[in-house]
């Protein structure tokens, strides 16, 4: 397994190892805004009026800015 290679030459666009902290902050914002809406309108409010994760946070601002195709990948780039 140590010599296995990726089949598609795609890699992340940044040096960030993880987006864990960004996801934590986004979920924190979501829970806070949900609690605020529930405190204003009560527990009987319509669930469609509650915010979603995409409305609260912008994925483009996370540590990893997306993925990119490698034009001429080296064998080192394809190692898992």
pLDDT tens over the chain, length 80 residues = 567 777 888 877 777 778 899 999 999 999 999 999 888 888 777 777 889 998 999 887 888 777 888 888 888 777 76
* CA nearest to 62, candidates 18, 30, 10, 11: 18
Contacts of 44 (CB under 8 A, 6+ apart): none
What is the pLDDT at residue 45?
78
């Amino acid at each position: 397994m140590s010599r296995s290679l990726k089949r598609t030459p795609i890699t992340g666009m940044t040096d960030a190892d993880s987006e864990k902290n960004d996801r934590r902050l986004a979920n924190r914002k979501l829970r806070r805004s949900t609690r605020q809406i529930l405190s204003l309108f009560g527990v009987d409010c319509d669930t469609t009026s509650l915010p979603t994760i995409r409305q609260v946070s912008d994925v483009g601002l996370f540590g990893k800015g997306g993925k990119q195709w490698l034009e001429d990948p080296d064998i080192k780039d394809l190692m898992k």
